[in-house]
Structure 1
Amino acid sequence: MKILAEGPITTHKYIEWWGRMINDNISRPSQGNNQTTGKHPRDVPSELEIIMQDFERRNLELEKKIEQMEEEKMNLRVDMDVHKLETEKLRNRKNEIEGDLDSLKTDYKKLRFSMRTAGLGKTSE
């Protein structure tokens, strides 16, 4: 009987496969699977094939995550551009309002000067 050494390279599928093995590729049903395997031996994947399948599966998962992150990045850039435009509009509006305020202050000073010159605004005694 062969001995299985667990390490970082063994996977759950590999451990299950190894647990079904008895005497060089003669399989027996696992405890979770009560079906008989038949008279013909199954093709048993090698450790390298199992590792490659795991690698391919993980690679597909990572590619999906990358696509999602790129889409999110694009959405964030669009949001950032929208916020920049809104900020610029608000700055322009603020500058317009400050200009109007300065104009009102100037007009107020002129009006006060005119009133003083004309003698208006004084109380009658």
Structure 2
Amino acid sequence: MRHQGSLKVVLNTKLWPHTHLRRPARRNLQVTATDVETQAVRVFLIQASASDVARLYVAIHHRLVALRTSAAGREAGAAGGRTREGHCNSENEEEEEQEEQRQRQEREGLLVTRLRPVVCDWIQSKRSLDTW
């Protein structure tokens, strides 16, 4: 988890449903995780820019929520309910969800359109349209 001579951090640990994630400051992220060398549970403090910490927090939090949902589904399945498996290892979850939604719409015969914002200030910059 640590690297000498550089401020890069690689999170090389497993995430568990009971992993704690906290932002004590804007540029810090606190994670309880297993140490790769000793296999003991430790508290790690990650320091980076505010935007990097925010992105890392969102990514880890998203995976923890999926793990906790999956664990709760398994517990409900053991009690007689249906299980719901989470897909925590996917890097492109949003793209996969969009692709599934697009395929579902195609099966239902819906017309899918994508709107993109367009800036049209060339009309205001011309004095009159007759000069064209």
TM-score by length of 1: 0.28
Taking CA–CA contacts closer than 8 Å with sequence separation of 6 or more, which of the two structures ends up with the larger relative contact order?
Answer: 2
- Between structures 1 and 2, the one with greater helix share: 1
- Between structures 1 and 2, the one with greater strand share: 2
TM-score by length of 2: 0.27
Larger Rg: 1
